[in-house]
A and B are shown apart, each in its own frame.
Chain A
Amino acid sequence: EAQVTQNPRYLITVTGKKLTVTCSQNMNHEYMSWYRQDPGLGLRQIYYSMNVEVTDKGDVPEGYKVSRKEKRNFPLILESPSPNQTSLYFCASMSVTDTQYFGPGTRLTVL
């Protein structure tokens, strides 16, 4: 089954404690992306990757890092989380000729 998985699904942490949200896809897609969803703001793109070792900033990259060492994985790293990063995060993957598949989401709370 084609899918994008994210872990963890829920996370409560404290300010400044580094965390990583993992994202993995099993469709051999070149393109992967991270979004955050906030009420009234829709989804905003954080980072995207066109292929292994190729990443670029989206609209709201501040406070986030990503890496793409393998085609299937695209982790999102928060080096020093702050309360304004409390949000619902979605990972997505796509190939040029395919549709964009979204993961189930990770609800992050930073205290």
Chain B
Amino acid sequence: AQSVTQLDSQVPVFEEAPVELRCNYSSSVSVYLFWYVQYPNQGLQLLLKYLSGSTLVKGINGFEAEFNKSQTSFHLRKPSVHISDTAEYFCAVSPQGGYQKVTFGTGTKLQVIP
């Protein structure tokens, strides 16, 4: 069984400030990790993914995430946010070797304040 915890349901941040969205996971096997973004009234778009290799993963729109196996975390960061980053962000996990069962977190709404 696997699970994902996004502790922060909402994160307000001022424009041009840095942001970190937290994600912790639990799994009995090795995993792949993902961050998705959902803009209002739209579907989900992949921001970045960790499959293997370097623990620092760079994604689109200036986002990056770091896989920490010992802390079972995959936090998403951006050094300077823009108004257009206002959206809901979802962390997701699936077992390595197969994408069969994908488990999503409950989401974090990022509100960028002008």
Contacts and interface: CB of A to CB of B under 8 A. Distances in A.
A84 B34 CA distance: 28
Interface of B: 6, 9, 34, 42-46, 49, 90, 92, 99-107
B101 A43 contact: no
Contact of A90 (B6, B43, B100, B106): B43
A48 B107 contact: no
A94 B99 contact: yes
Interface string A31-57: 101010000111111001010000010
Nearest to B49: A99
Nearest to A43: B104
B43 A31 contact: no
Contacts of A105: 42-43
Given A48-B101, A96-B99, A40 B45 contact: no
